[in-house]
Structure formats: C-alpha cells, structure tokens
C-alpha cells in the first residue's frame, strides 16, 4: 500500500509499505477520503516540535472496514466507518478524574498510522471509544470532519455564552468556522475576524453577525469593541488562529467580567503578556483548552448526522494521494477552507 511520510519540513514522500494486519481489538480501514488540516500544513512547512521525522502524516479520514482483529464485534468487513485520531486510556489519574483531554497516555494515531494513506490501522482504544458506523445518508466527506469538529464542539461547550451575547471569533479557518456555526446556534451575535475574504464570506454564511477584515482596520481590538454597545467589548472571545499576538488581542477585546477561550495552539515556548489590572479589576476569565474527549466526539458525531455543519461549506478541492503537497499548499494559501484527498 502507499502512504505519505514527512522526512523533514518541506520533504513529503509517498512510500510503499506492507498493508498492516489488525491485531486483537484493532480494525484496518481502507480510506475513502482524507482531509487537509492546518496542523498538517504546519507540520509540512515548519515541522512539529514534539516529533522527530520521518513520521506518518494526516489525521482526518473515513473509509470502509477492510479487516478486523480478534474480538472485534462492533464492526465488520465492509462497514462504512469513521475513527477519531485519538482516545484516552481511561486508567490514568486524569481519566479517572474525568479530564480525558489531559490523559497521560492519550492514544494518538497520527504518527503511527497517518490518515494520508490507502489504509489506516485503528488501535483498540479508539475502536472501543471513538469509532462510528456511518449512516447510509452520510457521505464519507461529512464523516471525515469528525476530528476537527469534535474539538470545536468541546471548545464551544466551555464558552459561557448567553443568547444575544457578543462573541468574537478570531481566526476563521476550519475550526473558527465551526465555532461560528455552533455559537450562532446558541444565539450569540458572532463577530468574525480574519484577513481572507473567502473565509469571511464563509463566516457570514455560517451565521456571523458582523465580520472584520483585519487587514482593513488599524486597530483590531478597537474595531471589534466598536461593534459592541458603548464600545464595552465582547462578552466572550475565542482565539482560533494559534498566534500569541492574537491570544493577547482576544483577551483585550473582552468586556469587564467577560471570558476568553484561547483555543489555537501556539509555537512551543511562547509567552503571553496580560495586563494584571485587567485580570484583577476587570475580573475576566481566561481559559486554555486542548483537544477533545470521547463525550464530545460522540456529541460531534450526532451533530454531523443532523448536518449542523455541512461538508459543502468546508471541503473545496479534490486531490489524489500523489498530489498531497499541492493539497496542503493550496490549503495554506487561505483561499479554501479545507481540501480533500480521494483514493
Ligand atoms: Zn485536524
Ligand atoms: Zn488516561
């Protein structure tokens, strides 16, 4: 079978390897669709601080069960399925405390069995907790949105938004857009900020009340505040850009007593500067967030069935596996939301 491996930043290769055989509890999926994600783009361009190449790449896919290991009864050969890229161990201190996103032994399938591959081996813990049969009326493309959407669903669950609240979403990539749709459904007046016209148009379509093109304003914080009554600032801010500068701006957009969710991951070692006066006298809450949990993966799959988000708003251009570099670079240019690979 063929799969894609990253040898060093900028050096992606298609390699031939043997098709894996599922062991006890494991499932082998023949991928039908894989999606590009901002984190794959980052890995390709600048590498991934935590990992030493060469490693597999891609982490969003759906497909058909090719074979199952001993003891697997939930799935059978031929089932249309989607698997999230990770699952917690359910045994460590954090899992027992119910904080599954902090699991010390999180089983992450990205590097071992990347999704830019003809076949993907799914570990038993993921099969048990975060793998689903795709209903007949759901496309492979819609199902493949499970991983990023599960993170957004978890993120939105942590935002204390009331109906009619002003909420800014800084960064309208795939995750930011998912936040916008979910926050809109919660009754928020969403202000979407980005520099890409394509993304801002998508934000409007998904329910943003106002948009700010950050390249057309002098001061992004003031521009957002100006869209709230008496310039007081937003009730909640969501950072979905993954830049420490935007983290700081998001905090500064919040009204006294408001809330900021810092969702986008930044580069390792970066430090955040916060005005202590703001934190103390304005009594704002700043929350970090990482990944998702099986509870929200399950919720996300239900929401995908309900078409709360639709693949058509997220997936733009089709590529083949051998053109994965083009798919990633085209994603990077910002004129699409995501691209997809078919086999
Ligand atoms: Zn992703
Ligand atoms: Zn654990």
CA of 287 to the centre of ligand 2 (A): 22
Q: Which ligand is closest to the CA of 174, given by its number?
A: 1
Q: Which ligand is closest to the CA of 34, given by its number?
A: 1
CA of 110 to the centre of ligand 1 (A): 10
Q: Which ligand is closest to the CA of 95, given by its number?
A: 2
Q: What is the pTM of this model?
A: 0.96
CA of 329 to the centre of ligand 2 (A): 35
CATH 3.90.180.10 positions along the chain are 2-150+292-342
Contact indicator for 211, 191 with CB cutoff of 8 Å? yes
Residue-level pLDDT at 19: 96
CA of 276 to the centre of ligand 1 (A): 34
- Nearest-angstrom CA–CA distance, 9 and 22: 31
Q: Which ligand is closest to the CA of 151, given by its number?
A: 1
Structural domain 2-150+292-342, CATH architecture: Alpha-Beta Complex (3.90)
CATH 3.40.50.720 positions along the chain are 159-288
CA of 35 to the centre of ligand 1 (A): 8
Q: Which ligand is closest to the CA of 90, given by its number?
A: 2
Q: In tens digits, what is the pLDDT along the chain, a chain of 343 residues?
A: 999 999 999 999 999 999 999 999 999 999 999 999 998 998 899 887 677 889 999 999 999 999 999 999 999 999 999 999 999 999 999 999 999 999 999 998 988 899 999 999 999 999 999 999 999 999 999 999 999 999 999 999 999 999 999 999 999 999 999 999 999 999 999 999 999 999 999 999 999 999 999 999 999 999 999 999 999 999 999 999 999 999 999 999 999 999 999 999 888 789 999 999 989 999 999 999 999 999 999 999 999 999 999 999 999 999 999 999 999 999 999 899 999 999 9
Residue-level pLDDT at 17: 95
Residue-level pLDDT at 203: 98
What's the token pair of residue 154?
């978890």
Domain 159-288 adopts which CATH fold? Answer: Rossmann fold (3.40.50)
pLDDT tens across 198-209, in order? 999 999 999 999
């Amino acid at each position: 079978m063929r799969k894609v491996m990253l040898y060093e930043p900028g050096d992606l290769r298609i390699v031939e390897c043997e098709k894996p055989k599922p062991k006890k509890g494991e499932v082998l999926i023949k991928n039908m669709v894989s999606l590009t994600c901002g984190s794959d783009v980052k890995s390709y361009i600048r590498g991934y601080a935590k990992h030493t190449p060469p490693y597999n790449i891609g982490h969003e896919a759906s497909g058909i069960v090719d074979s199952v290991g001993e003891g697997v009864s939930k799935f059978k050969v031929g089932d249309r399925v989607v698997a999230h890229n990770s699952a917690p161990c359910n045994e460590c201190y954090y899992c027992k405390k119910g904080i599954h996103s902090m699991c010390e032994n999180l089983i992450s399938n990205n590097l071992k069995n990347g999704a830019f591959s003809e076949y993907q081996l799914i570990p038993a813990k993921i099969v048990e907790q975060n793998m689903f049969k795709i209903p007949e009326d759901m496309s492979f493309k819609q199902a493949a949105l499970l991983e990023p959407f599960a993170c957004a669903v978890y993120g939105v669950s942590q935002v204390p938004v009331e109906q009619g609240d002003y909420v800014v979403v800084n960064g309208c990539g795939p995750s930011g857009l998912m936040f916008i749709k979910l926050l809109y459904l919660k009754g928020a007046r969403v202000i979407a900020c980005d520099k890409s016209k394509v993304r801002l148009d998508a934000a409007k379509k998904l329910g943003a009340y106002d948009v700010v093109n950050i390249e057309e304003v002098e001061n992004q914080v003031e521009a957002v505040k100006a869209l709230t009554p008496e310039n007081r600032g937003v009730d909640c801010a969501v950072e979905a850009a993954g830049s420490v500068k935007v983290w700081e701006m998001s905090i500064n957009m919040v009204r006294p007593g408001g809330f900021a969710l810092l969702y986008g991951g930044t580069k390792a070692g970066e430090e955040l500067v916060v005005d202590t006066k703001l934190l103390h006298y304005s009594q704002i809450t700043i929350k970090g967030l990482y990944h998702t949990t099986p509870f929200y993966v399950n919720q996300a799959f239900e929401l995908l069935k309900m078409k709360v988000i639709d693949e058509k708003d997220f997936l733009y251009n089709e590529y083949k596996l051998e053109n994965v570099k083009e798919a990633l670079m085209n994603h990077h240019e910002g004129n699409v939301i995501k691209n997809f690979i078919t086999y």
